[in-house]
Amino acid sequence: MTQGSLLRKITDYANRADPYPVYAELRKTPVLHDEAGPYIVSTYWEIHGLLHDPRISSDARNLNPQAAETLADEEDPALPPAFLRLDPPEHDRLRRLAMTPFGPPHTPRRIHAMRGELTRIIGELIDGFADRDRIDLVDHFSYPFPVTVICRLLGVPREDEPRFHHWAETLAAGLDPDPDEDAAERRRVTQRARSELGLYLAELIEERRRAPGDDMLSALAAGHGPEGQMTQAELLSTAALLLVAGHETTVNLITNGMLTLLRNPDVLTQLRTRPHLAVPLVEELLRFEPPVQLLPQRTPLADIDIAGVTIPKGASVWLVLASGNRDPQRFLEPDRFDPQRRDNQHLGFGSGIHSCFGAPLARLEAQLALTALARRLDNPRLLEDPPEYRRNAVLRGPRHLPLAFDGLREPGD
């Protein structure tokens, strides 16, 4: 098989439901490259090494012009790149500032303190299934749950969801490096969504400045951290990043999780009686079916020799996290779903300085959600396997997950 056709297979929608055979094929060439395309890295140790390699940049400005062409992002003075797309020291400063109201050391209990509220939201959503015997898990649960949470956390009105849902989806789609699409057209659409989301957030931040709440936007806007404050533009980019990332990833984690549990009914049964299993189970899900399949946005600042290949400075590099997670050189029986797996240092949240900012929240959301679903749905079953997937090859997950069940158990049962 030629390399170009392998690249195409990654993005080919036909492989979305089960991309793992393609990844297995990829791993035969740990660093794959053909003429104009990106360098695709698919083995665990190579990915891990690059994620910790200070010669690798996340900043699109370091791409050579040819590689930059395929990118959807555009320079936009109103909404400059968020810290996800920056290198240190800017990255470090912005991430620290964003961390101040979110986690340790300044706000160590924020996520923990949301436990009760998360449980309540989950309970209400599940109670809403009471008079049904089938649902679409995505529309009725996996999507509304994290969105409600991120709105609550950031201080974004839940009622505005229909507006920013559209922008978030467009921006997420912009991440998908589908070579078949018209890049210019997509760039235009993404660009518009970015500006509209920026305007929306600017207004909201203004309101939070006038009447601060206990939410993150208020805290970020006030900027009482030890390191001062973000500029208005930085604030907007950060808010947009958190809102979009809080949107499109946990949905897939929960949906992929439930799909996997329904394919492994013994594990589902265990989870019902042993809620502690949720912690290692979610780690295994992040390895086995990670919501972020690949990182298409890295470039070397210098020529880098790795696995017998020299990746030249400025080239576009894709790190296929989901493939690294199934690398038999790193994990025993990697294609087996084993919720009690030991030594599970997966790449589901990336690694290194860009490792997922929202990981503590995503973990908790998935743990609580899956445990509650396992406990309360009586005899749940899949109505479609495989289900219909979203187009996106980067943020991969089912578009719908129709389920049937015999009724609801009470929360305490």
Partner 1 sequence: MSGNGSLEALRRSGRIVIVGASLAGLRAAETLRDEGFTGSLTLIGDEPHEPYDRPPLSKQVLLGKATADRTALPRRRELDAEWRLGVAATGLDMTARRVRLGDGDEVPYDRLLITTGVRARPWPHPLEAELDGVFVLRTRQDAIALNRRLTAAPHRVLVIGAGFTGSEIASACRELGLEVTVAERGPAPLVGALGGVVGQVAAELHRAHGVDLRCGVMVTGLEGDSAGRLRRAHLSDGTALDVDVAVVSLGATRNTEWLAGSGLGAGPRGIACDAGCRAFDVRGIVTDDVFVAGDVARSPHPLFNYQFLSLEHWGNAVSQAETAAHNMINASADRRPHLWIPAFWSSQFGVNIKSVGVPSLGEEILIAQGSLAEGRFTGVYGYQGRVIAAVTFDQTKWLEHYQRLIETAAPFPPPWTTVDRRAEGLRPVPADFPDPSLPTHGPTVTLSGYSPTDRRITFTPARA
Which residues make up the interface to partner 1 (CB under 8 A)? Answer: 48-49, 52-57, 87-89, 92, 105, 301-303, 352-353, 355
- CB closer to partner 1 out of 210 and 342: 342
- CB closer to partner 1 out of 89 and 116: 89
Q: From the CB of 348, what's the least distance to partner 1, in Å? A: 17
- CB closer to partner 1 out of 314 and 398: 314
What lies within 8 Å, CB to CB, of 107 at 6+ separation is: 100, 101
Q: From the CB of 82, what's the least distance to partner 1, in Å? A: 16
What lies within 8 Å, CB to CB, of 295 at 6+ separation is: 318, 319, 321, 350
Q: From the CB of 357, what's the least distance to partner 1, in Å? A: 13
Q: From the CB of 301, what's the least distance to partner 1, in Å? A: 5
Q: From the CB of 114, what's the least distance to partner 1, in Å? A: 23
Residue pointed to by tokens 């930059």? 68
Separation CA 392–CA 128 (nearest Å): 29
CB atoms within 10 A of CB 106: 15
275-282 LR contacts (CB < 8 Å, sep 24+) = 275/371, 275/375, 277/339, 277/340, 278/367, 278/368, 278/370, 278/371, 279/367, 280/339, 280/340, 280/341, 280/344, 281/257, 281/339, 281/367, 281/370, 282/253, 282/257, 282/363, 282/366, 282/367, 282/370
- CB closer to partner 1 out of 227 and 335: 227
- CB closer to partner 1 out of 106 and 381: 106
- CB closer to partner 1 out of 50 and 372: 50
Residues β-bridged to residue 292: 395
- CB closer to partner 1 out of 108 and 386: 108
- CB closer to partner 1 out of 24 and 309: 309
Indicate the burial class of 162 (C-beta count within 10 angstroms; 0-12, 13-18, 19 or more): exposed
* Exposure string over 291-305, b if 16+ CB within 10 A, otherwise e: bbbbbbbbbbeeebe
The number of CA neighbours under 13 Å toward the Cβ of 409 is 14
- CB closer to partner 1 out of 49 and 80: 49
- Helix (H/G/I), strand (E/B), else coil: 67: helix
Q: From the CB of 64, what's the least distance to partner 1, in Å? A: 15
Q: Is the dihedral of CA 105, 238, 63, 45 positive or negative?
A: positive
Separation CA 108–CA 236 (nearest Å): 24
